[in-house]
Amino acid sequence: MWLTETDLEAIWLTLRLAAVTTLILFVVGTPVAWWLARTRSRWKGPIGAVVALPLVLPPSVLGFYLLVAMGPNGPVGQLTQTLGIGLLPFTFWGLVVASVFYSFPFMVQPVQNAFEGIGDRPLEAAATLRASPLDRFFSVALPLALPGFVTAGILTFAHTVGEFGVVLMIGGNIPGVTRVASVQIYDYVEALEYGNAHRLAAVMLVFSFLVLLALYVWNPGAKKR
C-alpha cells in the first residue's frame, strides 16, 4: 500500500464528513429550497441572499464566526454546554455543523431550481385529484425534482470533500478527528514531504474528476421535455 495509515484515516474521515453533511443537508436544505421556490413573501430575497452567502464569503470568515458562535462564550457554545454536549469546535460534529453551513447553497440552489422548474400546474392538477399538500410534495414535487436532488447531492458531497479553510478554523488538525484529506496535504507540503503530498493530491484529483464525470454523464437535463 502506497498510502500511509494516516492518509487512509484522513480519506475515511473526509468521506464520512461529506456523507453525513450531505444527508443532513438533504433533510435541512429541502424545506428551505421548497419555501424559496414557492413563496411570494418579501423575505424571499433576503433569505435567498443569506443562503447564497457561503458562495462568496471567504471560508475563513465563515469559520471565524462559527468558531466564535460555538466557542465557550458564544451563544451556540453556551447552549451546547448547557445541554451537556460540551463544545463543538475541534470535534467531528463541529466540523459537520460548519460543513452544513458551508455547503448549504450547493444543496439549496439546485433543488430550488428543480422545484421552480416544476411550476404550479402539476401541483394544481394533483390538488384537483384529491392530494393533500404533503401528499403533493411527496408524490409529485419530489419525483419531478429528482434530477435536481441528484445534482445537489453530488455537488454538496464534492464541495464538502474539497473544504479546507473552514475545517482549519473550526477543526484544527487533530489526526482521526478533524484532519481531513485537504488538511493532510497541507501538512505534507509544510513538512516538505512532496512525495506524500503528491500521492494524496492525485487521489483527490481522480476522485473529483470521477464525481464531475458522473454528474455530466448522468445528465437528466439532456432529455428534458
- In the complex, minimum distance from the CB of residue 1 to another protein, in angstroms, rounded to a whole number: 44
Of 81 and 132, which has the nearer Cβ to another protein?
132
**What DSSP assignment string belongs to the chain?**
--S-HHHHHHHHHHHHHHHHHHHHHHHHHHHHHHHHHH---TTHHHHHHHHHHHHHS-HHHHHHHHHHHHSTTSHHHHHHHHTT----TTSHHHHHHHHHHHHHHHHHHHHHHHHHHH-SHHHHHHHHTT--HHHHIIIIIHHHTHHHHHHHHHHHHHHHHT--HHHHHHT---TTTT--HHHHHHHHHHTT-HHHHHHHHHHHHHHHHHHHHHHHHS-GGGG--
Of 20 and 131, which has the nearer Cβ to another protein?
131
- In the complex, minimum distance from the CB of residue 225 to another protein, in angstroms, rounded to a whole number: 5
Rounded CA separation 30/115 (Å): 10
- In the complex, minimum distance from the CB of residue 133 to another protein, in angstroms, rounded to a whole number: 8
Of 68 and 131, which has the nearer Cβ to another protein?
131
Of 6 and 139, which has the nearer Cβ to another protein?
139
- In the complex, minimum distance from the CB of residue 121 to another protein, in angstroms, rounded to a whole number: 5
Enumerate residues 90-149 that contact another protein by CB under 8 A.
121-122, 124-133, 135-136, 139-140, 143-144
- Is 24 a binding residue for another protein by CB under 8 A? The answer is no
Count of chain residues binding another protein (CB under 8 A): 19
Of 132 and 208, which has the nearer Cβ to another protein?
132
Contact 204, 102 (CB under 8 A): no
- In the complex, minimum distance from the CB of residue 25 to another protein, in angstroms, rounded to a whole number: 24
Of 46 and 143, which has the nearer Cβ to another protein?
143
Rounded CA separation 7/13 (Å): 10
- Site for another protein, rule CB under 8 A: 121-122, 124-133, 135-136, 139-140, 143-144, 225
